[in-house]
A and B are shown apart, each in its own frame.
Chain A
Amino acid sequence: MKGAWWKITAVILLFYTLVGGLLLSVPRLDILNETIRNLYYHVPMWFGMMLVLLGSMIYSIKYLRSNNLHDDLWASELTNTGILFGILGIVTGMIWATFTWGEPWSNDPKQNAAAVGLLFYFAYLILRGSFKDDDQKAKISAIYNIFAFAVFIPLIFVLPRLTSSLHPGNGGNPGFDQYKSDSNLRLVFYPAIIGWTLLGVWFTQLRVRMKKAEDKILDID
């Protein structure tokens, strides 16, 4: 049970997010209405994705310094989790957009940037698939991972702020801060971010262990 504290934290926080997210009162706003509760699912997906991908990049840097395949495994599995979070973020966003903006895909710069970001990381998977040699694969994909992150950050943080966007806090839209003045939202929102991110790390850890076990079995054969 040692080292399980953060998994327990994740479960408690997510349980709290589910219950509190549905039961606690939220501000009554035009258009948004009750869909504002999606704030606890959609936005933490993006936070989780960014944090997980940041972690993946850090592991890639670690790999380049250490040449230890364990670091590369973590980097690649964190990327997988990041992709999962990205897809869930896009899907939850599309559902939310259907009810608030009127259509699932409204050519919003942040939506587009998110889709391009996913293309980056799908390309990463393709790149990994095209090598036979493990060390070569690890090295080149670590380089691409760092490169992709460096290009991805301005894409998703700078470009949408320059153009008009439907998202809050972009292109002259008011940020979410004004809604958050209602402290009930914050009460669930911050725990949700921590909970989802921890869950992502948990996923990753399980997959890393699975891969290692598979490798061991292959070695025995």
Chain B
Amino acid sequence: MNSIFSEIGILLKKDSTLEWREKTNLNGLLLFTVSTVFVCYLSFNQKSVQLSPITWNTLFWIIQLFAALNGASNSFTKEAKGRHFYYYQMLSPQAIIISKIIYNAILMMSISFIGLGVYSVVLGNPIQDMPLFCFVVALGGFGFSSSLTMVAGISSKAQGNSTLMAVLGLPAILPMILMLIKLSKNAIDGIARSQSMDEILVIFAIDIIIVTVSFLLFPYLWRS
């Protein structure tokens, strides 16, 4: 068990070093989020229209959803083909999937927070319970990454077809995003936090199911 944790640590370090060294991926993702936000801002023509909180909320999560889809889709295709054989001999598949999920979660959380910053600057900020909203965004980053990492693994086996990633990923992420939208609506309205416990529990439950299933299935995917 101990070795899995150390393997996860090493893989996380490897992934973040790699990301930092080749910044195009990270920068591309950031630029994608920012430009999508800007396109939305211009399309809504903010000067004359004030977005209602519901539209604001939904639009925010849709943008996050597509940023996450883009971010996750190359989590297994970044590296040179031959290197996978090397990992295959050195590491346990469980360590690989867990480290990818954690890594994607960190990546998506940071993208989401930067996105939130830009979004609230240009499109206004109707949130009343900011700490809860930030918690939801963090939860969303983890939820997106847990749902999408396994899907990215599956679609990378089909020669990294990007349509396939969207087709497989969107239904997988839907229960998560519905819960997130509901929860963040509570945060926007500033409803008592005890009212949101149900949704938080459901999100955690979905996360646990998905991570467990990924943990069990990834070894088979890896071997093929």
Contacts and interface: CB of A to CB of B under 8 A. Distances in A.
Interface of A: 64, 116-117, 119-120, 122-123, 126-127, 130-131, 135-136, 139-140, 142-144, 146-148, 150-151, 154-155, 158-159, 162
Contacts of A122: 167
Given A140-B158, A155-B174, 18 more contacts: A119-B170, A122-B167, A123-B167, A123-B171, A126-B168, A130-B158, A130-B159, A143-B154, A143-B221, A147-B151, A147-B217, A151-B171, A151-B175, A151-B213, A154-B205, A158-B202, A158-B205, A159-B202
Q: Is the interface of A mostly helix, strand, loop or mixed?
A: helix
B57 interface: no
The list of the 8 closest CB pairs from A to B, nearest first, reads A119-B171, A150-B213, A120-B171, A130-B158, A155-B175, A139-B224, A123-B167, A123-B168
Contacts of A154: 175, 202, 205-206, 209
A114 to B, nearest CB: 12
Interface residues of B, number: 32
Interface string B125-161: 0000000000000000000000100110011011101
Nearest to A158: B202
A150 B202 CA distance: 14
Q: Is the interface of B mostly helix, strand, loop or mixed?
A: helix
Interface string B169-209: 01110110011000000000000000000110010011001
Contacts of B151: 147
A116 B174 contact: yes
B106 interface: no
Interface of B: 147, 150-151, 154-155, 157-159, 161, 164, 167-168, 170-172, 174-175, 178-179, 198-199, 202, 205-206, 209-210, 213-214, 217, 220-221, 224
A159 B178 contact: yes
B94 to A, nearest CB: 15
